[in-house]
Structure 1
Amino acid sequence: MNASMLVIAGSETTATLMTGALYLITKHPEVQRKLEHEIRTAFKSEDEILLNTVNELPYMLAVLNESLRRYPPLASGMLRDVPKGGATVDGDPLPEDTVVSVFQWAINHWDKYWTDPMEFRPERWLGDPKYKNDVFDAMQAFSTGPRNCIGKNLAYAEMRLVVARIIFNFDMTLAEDCSDWIEGQKAYVIWHKPPLNIHFKPRVF
Structure 2
Amino acid sequence: MSASLVPARRRGLADEVADRVRDAIFDGGYAPGGQLREVELAEALGVSRGPVREALLKLEREGLVRSEWHRGATVTTLSAEDVAELDSLRAALEHLAVELVVERAGEDALAAIDAVVRRMDRAADEHEMVRCDLEFHDAVYAAAGHRRLLEAWCAIRSQVHLFLLTRIGVATDGYLAGIPAEHRELAAALRARDRETVLALFAEHRRQAFEILSGRTD
Give the TM-score normalised by the residue count of structure 1: 0.33
Give the TM-score normalised by the residue count of structure 2: 0.31
Question: Which one has the bigger helix percentage?
Answer: 2
Question: Which one has the bigger strand percentage?
Answer: 1
Higher RCO, Cα 8 Å, sep 6+: 1
